[in-house]
Structure formats: C-alpha cells, structure tokens
C-alpha cells in the first residue's frame, strides 16, 4: 500500500514495555516520518513523547508518523534504535508499507537517527535533527565529566559525593543545582576558568548563561550517573588520566588546575559501549539537515562541528546542511512550525526516490529481522 484516503491511528505497547503511536493521515502521500525522542530521566515513567503539534503538522502535510516511548529511560540509545526500527515495522504491518521513510531526531534522538541512517542508508530518504547529539555520546559524556571534576577543584565540598559516587536520597534542586549556583555567584572566578578550557567549551554570552550552563551539566551528571554506571557494569566511563587541561589562561593557573584535578581511568569495555551506542562515523549517504541553537546548555554546539568534520572527511559534505539559531536554550525552543519548515526543505532536497516493489519487500524483511526481539502486545 502506498496511498490511502482513510485516516488511522493506533496506540499500543510492545512486550518489552515500549509504548508506540502510529498515525496515517487522510490522503496519505505514501511517506512515513519516524520520530526519535530525546533523553528521559531514568526515574520518570515510560511515556510517549509530547509531540502533538509537530505530529499534527506532519499529518497535515500528508505524512504518516510513527514513534515510540522506548522500553527504558536514561541513556537508552541501543533501545531507541531498536524501538524506532520496530515502529516502522508496525506501521508497515498495520497501516501500509511506506514508499519513502524520513527520520527526525531530537536531542538524544538525534544520535539514534544518525545511527539508523549510517547503518542502513538505502532504507531512508532523509534525516533531520533538532538540537541533536550528532557528535556522539562520548563527546557529551566527556564534557559533562570534565565539568564535574573541574567544579570540584574550584568549589570543593559544595556538591555531595564525587564524580563516580553520589549518595542516595538527594534532591536535584536542593542538593545540586541550588548549592552550585550559589557557589558560582559568590565566587565567579572558578566558573570563568572552567569556561576557558579547551575540554569544557561552555556555551554562554553573559554571566547568567555561564552559571546556568555549568549547573545544567552538573544536573545531567547527577541524573544519569547511576544509569550509565549500570550500562558500563560499574566501570568508569570517563578517562582523564592523561588529559592536560589547557586554554588561554596563565600558566600558573593551568599548572595548579592540572595538579589538583581528580583523575579517573576508564576500561576498554566502557569505552566500547560509548562507541557502540553511538559514535557517528560520518558515513552519510542521504540528505541531512540540522537545526540547533548556538548556545545550547544541554547538547553543546561542538556536536555540530564534530559531525561536519567527519562527514567532510568521508567526502559527503554536500549532503549535510546545518542551520544555527543565535539564541540560548535547547530543543524546547524550536516550534513545530520551525521544524516542519526545515523538514519541507529536506524532503525537497531528497527528491523522489520511491522504492520499487522488490526494494520494498527487501526493506520490509530487513526491518522485520532487526525488530524481532521486541514483540508486540495487545493494542489499546
């Protein structure tokens, strides 16, 4: 099936606990948008992403839409890849096989979408990321880790625990954000030093943004630490044992910092986990567009530069169009209209690459094989 005049909606869940939503509009144009959502804190309930406005605009443009909650929260990149593949299979089985498939990934969903596109470029027609983690998991993890260990140098005993240990029963606002912000306001010199280091390109245009960006990194560390340690089987996922912290600062300041900062060693297995889930290669074979804020305290702009460099090394820079917005904030600042306007440009760049029936059958089998382990439960 490639076109229909019948609108349809299916909300359900898989045996693994992932919720899914499938939408086919009236006058379907035969194309499907797979949406991969961003990070959800490990302690939050499993839930579908609140993208009603974006979904409705895409449906109004004639596109089918499918997305998943994933079956787990936290740094669930592996599961996000699997569940995004799974909802495509479900859409094909229940609402009709699409002739074209596009990916949209927001924040952490950006690296999920990139992983899918790099792994199976013949299966997708275009990719859009919104404040996407496209530079890879390792870069973000290292950035946050550097912030935490450097903060402890200049604001000793302000935060509970250390980089690898956080006591149980703490409150994020009371025990982390509040004390950190107060300490930086009282003594801004430490925050200023951190912002000048090569290892910590903190996004800011004024003092308030500087404090907010550092506090955001500390909050992410607090929220994700236990989940990430579980995924690395308790091994440190951060290695600064041989890092020489550098930047446009006086030599005595750098020498003092490098002498006092806590050092950690990672393991090969932990680093392999970060590489597998996921370190982009830059093997881009389909049109890709990105939108991002120049000063993003959650997914720093260096992600865009890193992916651009990797794509350029592969000789496919012409496939990548990046669009920055001169403002401070993360993906929540992007309106559904801004996203769909860029998506329309992506579709135009992708042209018409409808697959023939043989290719569709082959693609369907490939998706089914990838998604078998996530069985479907009863549809609600």
101 has pLDDT over 60 = yes
What does the block give as tokens for 351?
A: 């042209």
Average pLDDT over residues 26-35: 97
**In the 8-state DSSP scheme, what is residue 86?**
H
Residues 34 and 97 in one domain: yes
List, in sequence order, every residue forming a beta bridge with 28; answer none if it has no partner: 4
pLDDT of residue 74: 98
Residues 74 and 143 in one domain: no
Residues 125 and 141 in one domain: no
Structural domain span for residue 87: 8-136+282-379
273, 307, 322 - which closes a domain: 273
- How many domains does one find in the chain? 2
Specify the long-range contacts of residues 256-263, CB closer than 8 Å, at least 24 apart: 257/150, 257/153, 257/193, 260/153, 261/149, 261/150, 261/152, 261/153, 262/149, 262/152, 262/153, 262/162, 262/163
C-beta separation of 25 from 7 below 8 A: yes
Residues 166 and 253 in one domain: yes
241, 273, 305 - which closes a domain: 273
Each residue's pLDDT tens digit, 182-209: 999 999 999 999 999 999 999 999 999 9
What does the block give as tokens for 135?
A: 């530079």
Could you tell me if residue 2 is inside a domain? no
- Give the torsion through C-alpha atoms of 342, 343, 349, 352, to 10 deg: -160
The least confident of 126-130, 155-159, 202-206, 350-354 is 350-354
C-beta separation of 289 from 342 below 8 A: yes
Q: SS3 of 327, please? A: strand
Each residue's pLDDT tens digit, 285-333: 999 999 999 999 999 999 999 999 999 999 999 999 999 999 999 999 9
CA 48 to CA 67: how far, in whole Å? 8
pLDDT of residue 6: 83
Residue 358 C-alpha from the chain's centroid: 33
179 has pLDDT over 90 = yes
Residues 113 and 210 in one domain: no
Question: DSSP letters of 14-52?
Answer: ETTS-EEEEEE-TTB-SEEEEEE---B-TTSPP-----H
Residues 185 and 102 in one domain: no
Residue 279 C-alpha from the chain's centroid: 12
273, 296, 315 - which closes a domain: 273
Residues 239 and 214 in one domain: yes
CA 200 to CA 113: how far, in whole Å? 26
CA 380 to CA 376: how far, in whole Å? 11
376 has pLDDT over 50 = no
- Give the torsion through C-alpha atoms of 59, 92, 360, 343, to 10 deg: 20
Residues 119 and 201 in one domain: no
pLDDT of residue 5: 53
What does the block give as tokens for 210?
A: 């500087």
């Amino acid at each position: 099936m490639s076109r229909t005049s019948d609108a349809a909606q299916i909300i359900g869940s898989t045996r693994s606990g992932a919720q899914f939503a499938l939408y086919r509009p009236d006058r379907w144009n035969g194309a499907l948008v797979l949406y991969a959502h961003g990070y959800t804190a490990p302690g939050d309930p499993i839930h579908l992403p609140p993208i009603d406005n974006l979904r409705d605009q895409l449906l109004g443009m004639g596109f089918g839409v499918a997305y998943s909650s994933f079956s787990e929260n936290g740094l669930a990149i592996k599961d996000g890849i699997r569940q995004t593949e799974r909802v495509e299979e479900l859409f094909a089985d229940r609402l009709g096989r699409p002739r074209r498939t596009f990916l949209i990934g927001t924040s952490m969903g950006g690296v999920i979408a990139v992983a899918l596109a790099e792994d199976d470029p013949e299966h997708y027609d275009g990719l859009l990321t919104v404040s996407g983690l496209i530079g890879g998991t390792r870069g973000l993890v290292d950035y946050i880790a550097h912030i935490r260990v450097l903060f402890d140098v200049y604001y000793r005993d302000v935060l509970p625990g250390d980089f690898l240990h956080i006591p149980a029963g703490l409150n994020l606002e009371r025990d982390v954000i509040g004390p950190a912000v107060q300490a930086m306001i009282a003594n801004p010199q430490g925050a200023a030093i951190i912002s000048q280091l090569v290892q910590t390109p903190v996004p800011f245009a004024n003092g308030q943004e500087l404090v907010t960006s550092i506090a955001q990194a500390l909050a992410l560390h607090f929220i994700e630490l236990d989940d990430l340690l579980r995924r690395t089987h308790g091994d440190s996922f951060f290695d600064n044992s041989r890092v020489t912290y550098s930047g446009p600062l006086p030599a005595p300041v750098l020498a003092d910092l490098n002498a006092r900062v806590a050092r950690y060693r990672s393991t090969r297995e932990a680093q392999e986990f970060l590489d597998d889930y996921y370190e982009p290669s830059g093997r881009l074979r389909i049109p890709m567009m990105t939108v991002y804020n120049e000063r993003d305290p959650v997914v720093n702009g260096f992600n865009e530069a890193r992916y651009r460099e990797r794509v350029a090394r592969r000789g496919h820079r012409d496939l990548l169009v990046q669009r920055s917005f001169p403002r401070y904030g993360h993906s929540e600042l992007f309106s559904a209209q801004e996203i769909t306007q860029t998506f329309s440009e992506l579709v135009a760049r992708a042209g018409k690459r409808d697959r023939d029936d043989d290719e569709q059958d082959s693609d369907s089998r490939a998706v089914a094989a990838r998604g078998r382990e996530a069985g479907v439960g009863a549809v609600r």
